[in-house]
Structure 1
C-alpha cells in the first residue's frame, strides 16, 4: 500500500495576511468594460512584494496592481510599458538605459519617475527574492533626469530586458519599499488596486483605477480572485457560473470541452522530483549518483505520460523545455527505460533491496506521484509522499525536503540556471556545486552570439542530466478553462502557467 500523508497547508498562508488589504480606492475605471470577472485560484498568494515572488499562478495576484518597466506579450515579445525605450549605450554592453513615461502615478498618489525606478531596482536586487541573482551584475543605478534610468553592469546579463519584464521589473511605490507591510498590501502603479473588502486567504477583490494611463490594460470594473485549492471544486465552480475562469489539469480537459467552455493550452512545465540532497545529508541514498541515475532509468516516461496527461504532455528528461535554447539532443538520449540497468546501478550502490524516499508535494499532484511511485517500486524504491494544500515552491528552497515534487517551466535558460543550478541558487538548498556547470555558465555570459550562448546552455543541460540532479518525467501543457461567453481577452503567456491580467473584458 502506498504511503501518502496529507497535512495542513504550509508556507505563507492567512497567518501572514491577517492585516486588512487596503490598497487604494474602490472606484472603477471609466474605460473599463464594466462588471466583475471571478477567477478560481489553485493556491493562495504568498507575498504582494513582487521582488520576492515567483511567477506561475502568483502572477494573477500581481499583474492587476503592478506595472512592469517593459511589457512581455503573450507570445513573448517585448513592448513599451512604463519604459518607452531601452538600449545598451556602450559597445561593451555594460551600460543599459531606460527612458520612462512621464504620466504614471502609483495608487497612493506618488509620481512614478526615475528616482522611484532607481529605488525599485535597488530593492529588487537586495530583496533576496528567487530571481534577485538576475540583477547581481547591476553594480549601480542612476537617475540622470526624471525620465532616464541608467544601469551600470559589472558583467553581462544576456536577458536583461526580459528580466525587467518580469517580477523584478514590477514597480512599487517607494513609500512601501520599507517594512513588511508590502507582503500583505500591494502598492503599485497598475490598472487595479486591492480592495479592503478582500478576505486574506480566501478572496482578493481588485477595483479598476480611474486614473490609470493605459486604457488597453483595463477591462472589467472589478476582479475577484478566490482561493480554491481543490481541483474538482474549482472546475465545478466554473461549470456552475460561480467563477469565470481557472487553471485545470489534463484529466479535466474533456469535462471542460463537454461543458462548452474554452480550453486554452500551452506546453510549459516539466514535472518530476528535485533530487536536491545530492550530498546525501538527509537522504543518504541520493548522495550516490548511481542511485539518482537508477531512478531515471526506472521510469517508463511514455507510459507515465499516457497515463497522467491525457494527450497534453510529452516525454522529457531535462529541466529546460524543448522549445528553449538549453534543450540538448545529447541529454535527450539519456535514460531510456531500462529496469535491468536501474537494478544494476542500485545494487552497485548498495541498495539492491531498494529504499524509501520522502517526497513533499501539494495535493493537486497526488495522482501523478502515485503513478510515479508505482513505477519506482519495480526496482524497490518506495515514495513516502507527504501532501499539503500549499507550500510546494517554498519547499524547494529549504533543506527540510531532500526530494520535493517539482513543477516548473521557463523558456529563459539564464534565469533557470540562476534559480536551480549554481551553488548559491535559491532552489539549490543543499549547495550542490558543479565546476562544469560554472564553466559553461561563465561561457554563456561571455558569449557574443546566440550560437555560442546556446551551446553553453546545452552543455549545462548535459551535465545536470548526466548527474541526475532531477528526475524529470515529462513536459506538461498548462491548461486554462474560460467561460468565453462571458469573458474575452484571456490569453496564455509563453513561459507562464496562467494568463496575465491584461485587458480582460466582460462580454455584453
Structure 2
C-alpha cells in the first residue's frame, strides 16, 4: 500500500509537471496583439517627466517610458540588458565596462553613445537625491569608443551593478543638457529619449500622452500605439476608472485598501503582486531635528512609546503591510534587523518622558501642540497621519494635520524646512546603501534637494558605518555594519519606522505583461500589450 501511494504521488507530480510545461509553452507562443491604447492611472501628477532631480514615484513612473537605463533586472535582481548589451566587472571590483547597444538613436535622431552615459552619471551625482551616495566610489568614466563606457572606482561598490535601472539611473541626452542649467532645462517637461515611447502632450492637471516610438531598437516593441497617463489623488476616482474601463492599469495599490477584497471578486480585474522587488519601502514618522521641540530626544522617545504598530497595521493598512521597527525594510532580508525598538508601546513610559522634559498636562489635558505634515501622493499617508494624531492625543499632544500635494510638500520640507515632523515613505530599493543611506548620512543633507536627509540627522559613528558598507566586499561584514547602524538609529530615534506596505498592481484583464521585470510598471512598459476592445 505504501509503495502504491508513493507511485501515485510520483505519477501525480509528473502529470502536474507536464501540465505546467504545457501551459508555460502555450503562454510563450501567444503572439502579442499590436496596437491599441493603454491608460495608466497614477495617484499624483508628476512634477517633471524626467527623474533627474527627484525620486518621487509619479516622476519615475513616467520617466522610464522615454529615458532608459543601461540595465534592467529580473525578479531576483539579476541584471539584464537594456542600453548595455553586456558588461564586465574586474576581479577587484574597481572597474566596470559596459558595452552599449549599436544603432540606438535619441528620438530627435541623434545617435546614442558612451558620451551620453558618462555625462548622465556625472550630472546625476550633482542633481539626484540618491546618486551622490550610489556613485560615490566612481572616480571617472572613460569612453574609449562610442559603444564602450568604462567606470573606474576608488573602492569596490558591491551594490553598483544593480543601480542602472531606468527609473533609478536614467541615461540622458548630453546634446540636450550640456552647457545648460539642468534643473531648468525644457527637456525635463518635454523629454527626448531612447525609450519605447515618444512624448506628445502634457495637459497639466489631467493627463499625459505618449505615442509609440516607430524607431525603437527592440522592434516590434512597443506593442501599443498610445500610452495615456492619467492622475487623480482620489482613490475613489481611481477605483471607478479601473472598474469602468476609463483606466486599464494602476500600480502601488491604486485603490483604497478597504476596497481590495470586494474588487478581487470582479472577473474583469487582475491583481498582480510582481514587479516590486526593486522597490521595498518603509513608511515612517520623520522629525525635524532642527526644531526646538524635537531636538529633545525625550520627546521623540515619548512619541515612539505611543505608537501601537499592531493596531496601525489593522487600522491603516487593513493587513496589507508588514510592521517594522527598523529603517531597513523586511523585504531586504539579509540586512533587515528584527531587533525590537527600545521604545515599545507604553503610554505610561511616554507620559513619564514628557513630564521629565517639562511638558506638563494643562487643565485641558494638553501638554503641547504640534503640526504634522504629509503629502497626498498615497492615501495611506493621510491614514497614518490620522492614526498618529489619535495616538498622540492619548499622551496629551494635540496634533494639527497639514496636507499638501507632493511638490508643495517637497518645497516646504526640503527647501524651506518649515515643518516639525512628517509622515513619509521612502524606497529602500535593492540595497540599503542606495535607498537608506541617503536619509541618515550627514553628507546627504542638501537643502533644496528632495528626498535626501529629511531629519538633518548627524552622527559621525553612523556616517562611518554607512561609508564602510559602501565599499565592503565581505558580505557578512557588510551585514554587520548595517545591523550596527540600525541599532544606533533605533536608540536615537531621528525617525520612527512604522510599516513596509505590500503593493499590488490592478489591471483590466485585457492587459498583458505589464510587469515582466523587478521594477514592474516603473519599467519602460515596452512589453505590455492589450487585447482589442470588444
Normalised TM-score (structure 1): 0.86
Q: Partner of 1:295: helix, strand, or coil?
A: helix
Q: CA deviation at 1:141?
A: 1.3
Distance in 1 separating the partners of 2:471 and 2:242: 49
CA contact (8 A) 2:62 2:522 kept: no
Deviates more, 1:402-411 or 1:456-465: 402-411
Q: CA deviation at 1:262?
A: 1.7
Instruction: Give the 5 Å matches for 1:112-261.
Output: 112-167=112-167, 169-178=169-178, 179=180, 180-196=185-201, 198-215=202-219, 218-246=222-250, 247-260=254-267, 261=269
Distance in 2 separating the partners of 1:459 and 1:418: 13
Deviates more, 1:107-116 or 1:242-251: 242-251
Q: CA deviation at 1:264?
A: 2.6
CA contact (8 A) 2:158 2:470 kept: yes
Q: CA deviation at 1:132?
A: 3.3
Could you say what the CA RMSD is over the residues aligned between the two structures, in angstroms? 2.4
Match among 476, 482, 496 for residue 507 of structure 2: 482
Q: Does 1:433 align with 2:458?
A: yes
Instruction: Give the 5 Å matches for 1:57-456.
Output: 57-89=58-90, 91-167=91-167, 169-178=169-178, 179=180, 180-196=185-201, 198-215=202-219, 218-246=222-250, 247-260=254-267, 261-265=269-273, 268-275=280-287, 277-278=288-289, 281-282=290-291, 284-324=292-332, 325-330=334-339, 332-353=340-361, 354-363=367-376, 364=379, 365-391=381-407, 392-393=409-410, 395-398=412-415, 399-410=417-428, 411-425=430-444, 426=446, 427-429=452-454, 431-456=456-481
Q: CA deviation at 1:272?
A: 2.5
Q: 1:367 to 1:449 in 2, by over 3 A?
A: same
CA contact (8 A) 1:57 1:497 kept: no
Q: Partner of 1:285: helix, strand, or coil?
A: coil
Q: 1:289 to 1:497 in 2, by over 3 A?
A: farther
Deviates more, 1:466-475 or 1:246-255: 246-255
Greater than 6 Å deviation, 4+ residue runs = none
Distance in 2 separating the partners of 1:402 and 1:74: 39
Structure 1 unaligned regions, length at least 5: 1-30
Distance in 2 separating the partners of 1:393 and 1:496: 25
Q: Partner of 1:471: helix, strand, or coil?
A: strand
Instruction: Give the 5 Å matches for 1:454-473.
Output: 454-473=479-498
Distance in 2 separating the partners of 1:498 and 1:69: 15
Q: CA deviation at 1:445?
A: 2.6
Distance in 1 separating the partners of 2:425 and 2:438: 13
CA contact (8 A) 1:269 1:497 kept: no
Deviates more, 1:295-304 or 1:39-48: 39-48
Deviations 1:52-82 (A, max 9, x none): 2315333221121122101123443311111
Distance in 1 separating the partners of 2:345 and 2:456: 30
CA contact (8 A) 1:51 1:167 kept: no
Distance in 1 separating the partners of 2:89 and 2:35: 41
CA contact (8 A) 2:73 2:519 kept: no
State how many pairs are aligned.
471
Q: Does 1:505 align with 2:500?
A: no
CA contact (8 A) 1:274 1:405 kept: yes
CA contact (8 A) 2:66 2:191 kept: yes
Q: CA deviation at 1:51?
A: 2.6
CA contact (8 A) 2:392 2:398 kept: yes
CA contact (8 A) 1:253 1:263 kept: no
Distance in 2 separating the partners of 1:55 and 1:265: 21
CA contact (8 A) 2:157 2:471 kept: no
Distance in 2 separating the partners of 1:94 and 1:507: 47
Q: Partner of 1:215: helix, strand, or coil?
A: coil
Q: Partner of 2:394: helix, strand, or coil?
A: helix
Distance in 1 separating the partners of 2:33 and 2:351: 62
CA contact (8 A) 1:318 1:327 kept: yes
Distance in 2 separating the partners of 1:499 and 1:257: 25
Q: 1:249 to 1:460 in 2, by over 3 A?
A: farther
Q: Partner of 1:84: helix, strand, or coil?
A: strand
Distance in 1 separating the partners of 2:454 and 2:474: 32
CA contact (8 A) 1:195 1:207 kept: yes
CA contact (8 A) 1:50 1:170 kept: yes
Q: CA deviation at 1:502?
A: 3.8
Q: CA deviation at 1:447?
A: 1.9
Distance in 2 separating the partners of 1:422 and 1:120: 23
Q: CA deviation at 1:307?
A: 1.3
Distance in 2 separating the partners of 1:499 and 1:143: 27
Larger radius of gyration: 2
